[in-house]
Structure 1
Amino acid sequence: MGVFGISIYPNHSLVEEDQDYIKKAHAYGFKRIFTCLLSVDGNKEQILHEFKQTIHFAKDLDMEVICDISPRIFHELNISYNDLSFFHDLGVDGIRLDLGFTGREEAQMTFNPFDLKIEMNMSQATHYLENILNYQPKRRQLIGCHNFYPHRFSGLSYDFFIESSRKFKTNGLRTAAFVSSSAASFGPWPIIEGLPTLEMHRDLPIDVQAKHLLATKLIDDIIISNAYASDDELKLLSKINREKMTFNVELVEGISELERTIILKEPHFYRGDISDYMIRSTQSRVKYREHAIKPFNTRDIKRGDIIIENDLYQQYKGELQIALKDMPNSGKTNVVGRIRKEEIFLIDYLQPWEMFAFQEWKEA
């Protein structure tokens, strides 16, 4: 199972502030850190000393640290792909190559004596991955991570994201992508208009971004790209159920305790005989067939509604459904809740026989 991570940018922050953020993220169960060494302009020894301090602090908390390295740094510090001892001395667990080599060099890097992970840029419309695999790398040391995009409208298109992610996943490689905090104020560059991987995520709440990445089933690790995310955002991500899609739902005032129990406490799975109009969860109608469910709030049904069949639907009484389309209501169906508007698109990702759940949510 993948992990959640944060990003830190020592070139633009203070050691103490980074360490406070790392400590807080660790307390919420975050396991991974993305960082980058953009330049060593100025006092090189001081910059590297502070960088090491922060990395060692994270390692003491058993967090994995992957460092993004630009070709400029390779040149400035006279580092060769044949000798990665510099990164071992820094204390990182791996390096991310934003711009790669020819494939042979990356494959050779995976055999480094320090067991450093070699992370590739997944956001490329090339045969880069295939080139590397042709040179027979040590696969367990090879991982992938998408880019993030500070310029509005420059983020990845959804279709390209799926295509490029699938290349890595079908080859059994660990994958990662970025979500953007609305509370954070900086990233690696001066321009920042959000910092997501996917353009469609730029203005979405951070937990919805993460749920969407998980729903694609193509991304293992999810990293907050900008710093510093708020306590509320860290908490939201820490509470996401990675094992099954869990929708935030606003319940209708006045529903019965039985309906509340069916929604929030009973297990749900997507029945396998697919309908264009609804996702059906049918076990509750078996369990509660002897219980009364009186007609209540039988307005017409909208996509994203949570509905439960009432007494008038006889043998269907107690069945829970998620509406995929707008439908008229015959009066036999109680509209008992509605999925949070930002999450409604996620219902299209549920697959037949897949488990799902709801948690109560109220709009602020």
Structure 2
Amino acid sequence: MLGFSYYLDHTFNEDDQNYLQSMKQHHFTEIFTSLHIPEDNQTAYADRLKDLLDHTTSLELSVFVDIDKKSLQNLPQELTGFHLRLDDGFTNQDIAQMSQKSSLALNASTLSESDIAELHSYQANFHNLEAWHNFYPRPETGLDLNWFLQKNQWFKSLGITTQAFIPGDQALRGPIFSGLPTLESQRHQDLLAAAIQLQKNDVDKIFIGDPRLSLKYQNKFYDYFDKGVLDLTLKTNSQFPSYLTNRILHNRPDPAADVIRVVESRGMNALNTETVLPLQSTPRNAGSITIDNQNYGRYMGEVQLIKHDLPLDERVNVLGRIDQASIQLLPYIGANAAFKINTKE
């Protein structure tokens, strides 16, 4: 499940409305926001939350509000229609009582075995409890990957839904503007690669931590999470054949260790040219897209994506190269996996 963040630091406007609609169209289904209400600005924050809820209700987007106990007490009681992500001040007895009525997200990073035992003793409704990790604005402070994986495996053994954040790309949140990831290793990673890594490591809900995700990445997320297609982008294409671009291709069902072998390529090449003549050989660096020439006999016409640096081979022509972000996606193109090589974003 995919989610994104919206922050109450401004009045809801038309640009916000368009963004919410676009994210919904790309199958993001939940929103995270924070409501630590300043004493002198309670009315403004409450009004902004109401405006957000008015629009998310019509779009059928669920909202989780990060809140501490003091801010919850200051929140107007007539505001309803959202879930809580509990911060400071709540006891396990509070949580157990609240879980009887609504869904709650707890701090995954600090939740301990003793907390779980206490929640059981207070008869908490565990069907309404989720474990949400924090995001970390300051560089070098994001979570360690191995610790994170162990924590998530523990939650899965308890049957608890897990959540984590990756950064955005179109607008980063201040005042540091260094992204809002849960994992430090993902602070500068390709966003789709980061999301897939979380998905494959026991994370049920993947949220964008920063205020905006570009349309480029909205499309990439939609193609992968809804259609099962990885979008790659061509970086150099002076000799790249058009019959390979902007269409769905597949890796073989018996995936190779060093390369991705395009199933459709030899048949497609036969329709476009009789012979693949040798070109000047160049090294096959990671991200290179190659085609076997006539010197490779019956393999002529096979197109491959190179996973890691390989030496030049006079039987192989280098056609082009995907960009650095796309290279990070190559490890996720497994057996029978679908992908596209796009000429532009």
Place the TM-score, normalised by the shorter chain, in its bin.
0.7 to 0.9
Aligned partner of 1:248 in structure 2 is: 233
Aligned partner of 2:340 in structure 1 is: 358
Aligned partner of 1:145 in structure 2 is: 132
Aligned partner of 1:95 in structure 2 is: 84
CA contact (8 A) 1:179 1:225 kept: yes
| 1:185 Cα deviation from its structure 2 partner | 5.5
| 1:177 Cα deviation from its structure 2 partner | 2.5
CA contact (8 A) 1:22 1:58 kept: no
Aligned partner of 2:31 in structure 1 is: 33
| TM-score, normalising length: structure 1 | 0.76
Structure 2 residue matching 1:236: 3-state secondary structure: helix
What amino acid does structure 1 have at the position aligned with 2:21?
Answer: H
Aligned partner of 2:99 in structure 1 is: 110
The alignment status of 1:155 with 2:155, answered yes or no, reads no
What amino acid does structure 2 have at the position aligned with 1:5?
Answer: F
Structure 2 residue matching 1:328: 3-state secondary structure: coil
Aligned partner of 1:7 in structure 2 is: 6
Q: Find the aligned partners of 2:116 and 2:322 in 1 and give their Cα distance.
A: 41
> Where do 5+ consecutive residues of structure 1 fail to align?
80-84
Cα pair distance change 1:43/1:316, threshold 3 Å: closer
Q: 2:107 aligns with which of 121, 126, 131?
A: 121
Percent identity for Structure 1 against Structure 2: 26
Structure 2 residue matching 1:249: 3-state secondary structure: strand
Number of paired residues? Answer: 333
Cα pair distance change 1:250/1:54, threshold 3 Å: same
Q: 2:208 aligns with which of 199, 224, 229?
A: 224
Q: Find the aligned partners of 1:308 and 1:100 in 2 and give their Cα distance.
A: 62
CA contact (8 A) 1:7 1:223 kept: no
The alignment status of 1:272 with 2:254, answered yes or no, reads yes
| 1:104 Cα deviation from its structure 2 partner | 6.0
Aligned partner of 1:198 in structure 2 is: 183
Q: Find the aligned partners of 1:23 and 1:266 in 2 and give their Cα distance.
A: 29
Q: 1:295 aligns with which of 275, 278, 282?
A: 278
1:171-182 pair list within 5 angstroms: 173-182=160-169
| TM-score, normalising length: structure 2 | 0.80
Aligned partner of 1:281 in structure 2 is: 262
Q: 1:317 aligns with which of 289, 300, 320?
A: 300
Comparing 333-342 with 213-222, greater Cα deviation is found at 213-222
CA contact (8 A) 1:300 1:329 kept: yes
> Where do 5+ consecutive residues of structure 2 fail to align?
none
Q: Find the aligned partners of 1:134 and 1:181 in 2 and give their Cα distance.
A: 37
Q: Find the aligned partners of 2:197 and 2:51 in 1 and give their Cα distance.
A: 37
